[in-house]
């Protein structure tokens, strides 16, 4: 069981002010958590494959492939009033 001194030390590190009643409450709760962790340490996981993420996801996005958009770009450039070196010239917004 975790001691009251340890609870007070943890509270000090976390910069949390605890009343004596709260110290006793957290002493029980932290002890319960640590007991549960001890139980988890006893579980045999030697046959379990390690995981890096709880879900085995694959890349769901499409491949990033370059596509020739030359015809569309040419049509856009032809439709614009002013074009300079394949850039569209527009009016100043600000």
Q: Quickly state the pLDDT bin for 36 (edges 50, 70, 90).
A: very high
Q: What is the pLDDT of residue 17?
A: 94
Is 4-41 CATH 3.30.70? Answer: no
DSSP E strand boundaries for 1-94: 83-84, 87-88
- Is the whole model's pTM more than 0.85, yes or no? no
Is 27 in contact with 3 (CB distance < 8 Å)? yes
Q: Quickly state the pLDDT bin for 80 (edges 50, 70, 90).
A: confident
Q: Quickly state the pLDDT bin for 15 (edges 50, 70, 90).
A: very high
Element (H, E) at 39: helix 20-41
pLDDT by residue (tens digit) across 49-69? 888 777 777 777 878 887 777
Q: How many CB atoms lie within 10 A of CB 59?
A: 6
């Amino acid at each position: 069981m975790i001691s009251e001194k340890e609870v007070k030390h943890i509270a000090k590190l976390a910069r949390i002010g605890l009343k004596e009643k709260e110290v006793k409450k957290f002493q029980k709760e932290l002890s319960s958590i640590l007991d549960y962790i001890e139980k988890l340490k006893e579980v045999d996981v030697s046959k379990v494959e390690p995981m890096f993420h709880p879900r085995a996801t694959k890349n769901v996005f499409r491949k990033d492939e370059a596509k020739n958009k030359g015809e569309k770009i040419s049509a856009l450039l032809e439709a614009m009033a002013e074009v300079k070196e394949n850039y569209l010239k527009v009016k100043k917004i600000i």
